[in-house]
Amino acid sequence: MAFGIFGKKKDEAGAGAEAPAGSASGGGFETNPDAARRFFDRAQTVHDSTNFEYAMVLWLQGLSQDPTGVEGLEKFMRSGSKFAETNKKPSKDQLGQVKARHAGVQKYLAALLQWGVRQLEWPLALDAFEAAAKLELAEPAYWIGARALGLAGQDSKAKKAHFVKMMELFSAISAFDKAVVAGELAYRLDPTDAKLQNTVRNMSAQSAMNRGGYEESGKQGGFRSNIRDLSAQRAKEAEERLVKTEDDQTVAINNAKADYESRPTDSGAIEKYARLLRERGTPADEKAAYEVLMKAFESTGVFRFRQQAGELKMRAARRKLRAMVEQGEALGAGTPQREQADQAVAKAQRQVVEMEIGEYAEWVENYPTNMELRYELGSRCLQVGQYEKAIGHFQESRAAPKVAEKTLLGLAQAFEKLGWLEESESTYREAIAKHENPSDDLAVELRYGLMSALEARARDEKKLEIAEEALKLASSIAIQRIGFRDIRDRRQALQELVRSMRP
């Protein structure tokens, strides 16, 4: 975002200008852009390996070294969005690692961490906005504030005081265009506030002067420069809008394409163009993004481009598979056409999973310490009957806290498929003991698995006590979720087994 939109610069070493290592910012804290860059580079690598939890920490550690820019902030939010798909709040590890020498920067980073996991909660964005403005971080404050304002403007629970606060914060960073919008929203909630009306009117005049370039009238080309900044600002706002119209997407993609074509080996231009194509997500967009990413991988050797291309390939394959399933389900049950369609789906399903195995195998080879990727590889090996390979991958990924319980489930299932019933039983028991929520989906899945392994042992070894334990598990699952899988039939079969074993 061009700094001219804020109306004035704080000083030459302030936000938006690259300060030398160890220099003081306008907010009274030291910045070290070189150290920040090292953290950002590492964060990108970790993000690409899909360890979004740790990537967020690294982005924040980079911002602790230099919080004045927007690049690290934008990418932190991208990692946060991915982390939030499976988490509702920051982890304890994240909270413990967010540190900065300057108290104001520490508060800013803490606010970012909370908002990063709950990005639609505008009060959290407002906290981060306030912390950034107090540090005189003009560009980050504007970036955050614009999002806080957009979200609050759609919330009927937002109060006048919230919009007044945003107006004051935008004014503090000389972003009078947004201050006017916030002030107008506040005034709508209280049309009797004559003082607020006058404040908004004055800010509107200041905003008009800034847009018109009058404050730079003594400088050669001041007006024309401001017009160019305004055009760039509008294009940027179209790209960053939370809910994009079709026109917004077209403008953003065309601008990103032009930037990419002017510097086709620049990683930032490549990622931005591919990301915008993926977000719009038409088949033509995904094909174009795939080609851009593969070309980037071939020319740079950077594996994350290859990984992103692979993600697109898997997404397209899964979409085609879903279409096949829906077409098959539309046919009459029990008809020859339905039987033929089901066979085609089963074949396609295996082909898709085998393709995904190939993708994940490459990813694991390039990111050998990422246990979440290894878990995903193991789960796909399990799906196609590669049980010993699945066990090998699960045994490595079981130490990763985030996937430990799912890994134990997969490991137990693989043991059971191989007929290793004692190993399967002990693994199920370990997973159940470690799982904290006894009523969620995973807990039911684990108890069902243990029931199945115990039933197999009871039939093989002809032991009543094992069959009785399996029956108790079946009954507890039926009480909790009568519609879970085939639990009614399994419970009845176990009742008959127990009766047959009793003297």
DSSP string computed for 105-167: HHHHHHHHHHHHHSTT-HHHHHHHHHHHHHTT-HHHHHHHHHHHHHHHTT-TT--HHHHHHHH
Neighbour tally for 257: CB within 10 Å: 17
490 pLDDT more than 90:
yes
34 pLDDT more than 70:
yes
Average predicted confidence (pLDDT) for the chain: 85
131 pLDDT more than 70:
yes
pLDDT in tens, 236-287: 555 544 444 556 788 889 999 999 999 998 888 898 999 999 888 888 999 9
pLDDT the model gives residue 220: 45
Half-sphere exposure of 136 (CA within 13 A, CB side): 14
Report how many helices (DSSP H) and strands (DSSP E) the chain contains, helices first.
23, 2
71: tokens are 């690049």
pLDDT the model gives residue 380: 96
222 pLDDT more than 50:
no
Backbone region of residue 391 per phi and psi (left: phi > 0; alpha: psi in -120 to 50; beta: other values): alpha
Confidence of residue 226 (pLDDT cuts 50, 70, 90): very low
Contact 425, 458 (CB under 8 A): no
463: tokens are 């032991």
Of residues 171 and 332, the one with the higher pLDDT is 171
Please tell me the distance from the alpha carbon of residue 318 to that of residue 349, in angstroms, as a whole number.
9
Q: Side chain identity at 80, as an amino acid letter?
A: G
pLDDT the model gives residue 91: 87
Contact 122, 128 (CB under 8 A): no
Q: Side chain identity at 249, as an amino acid letter?
A: Q
Confidence of residue 168 (pLDDT cuts 50, 70, 90): very high
Contact 76, 44 (CB under 8 A): no
Contact 427, 411 (CB under 8 A): yes
What would the mean pLDDT of 76-87 be, rounded to a whole number?
89
Q: Structural domain boundaries of the chain?
A: 3-236
pLDDT the model gives residue 268: 84
33 pLDDT more than 90:
no
SS3 category, 9: coil
Q: Side chain identity at 465, as an amino acid letter?
A: E
Q: Side chain identity at 440, as an amino acid letter?
A: D
What would the mean pLDDT of 328-346 be, rounded to a whole number?
89
pLDDT the model gives residue 207: 67
Q: Side chain identity at 482, as an amino acid letter?
A: I
Beta bridge partners of 23: 31
232 pLDDT more than 60:
no
Backbone angles phi, psi at 31, to 5 degrees: -120, 150
Beta strands in 350-472 (DSSP E): none
User: What is the DSSP-derived secondary structure letter of residue 266?
Assistant: -
Please tell me the distance from the alpha carbon of residue 409 to that of residue 487, in angstroms, as a whole number.
18
pLDDT the model gives residue 64: 92
Q: In the chain, how long is the greatest CA-to-CA distance?
A: 105
Please tell me the distance from the alpha carbon of residue 421 to that of residue 398, in angstroms, as a whole number.
19
289 pLDDT more than 90:
yes
- Burial string for 93-132 (b: 16+ CB within 10 Å, else e) reads ebeeebebebebbbbbbbbbbbbbbbbeebbbbbbbbbbb
113 pLDDT more than 90:
yes
Please tell me the distance from the alpha carbon of residue 53 to that of residue 178, in angstroms, as a whole number.
32
Beta bridge partners of 31: 23
Confidence of residue 94 (pLDDT cuts 50, 70, 90): confident
Please tell me the distance from the alpha carbon of residue 476 to that of residue 432, in angstroms, as a whole number.
14
418 pLDDT more than 70:
yes
pLDDT the model gives residue 155: 86
pLDDT in tens, 5-23: 233 333 333 333 333 344 4
Confidence of residue 217 (pLDDT cuts 50, 70, 90): very low
Of residues 4 and 56, the one with the higher pLDDT is 56
pLDDT the model gives residue 211: 57
User: What is the DSSP-derived secondary structure letter of residue 19?
Assistant: P
Confidence of residue 223 (pLDDT cuts 50, 70, 90): very low
With a CB cutoff of 8 Å and minimum separation 6, the contacts of 352 are 314, 317, 318, 321
What would the mean pLDDT of 355-363 be, rounded to a whole number?
96
Of residues 270 and 204, the one with the higher pLDDT is 270
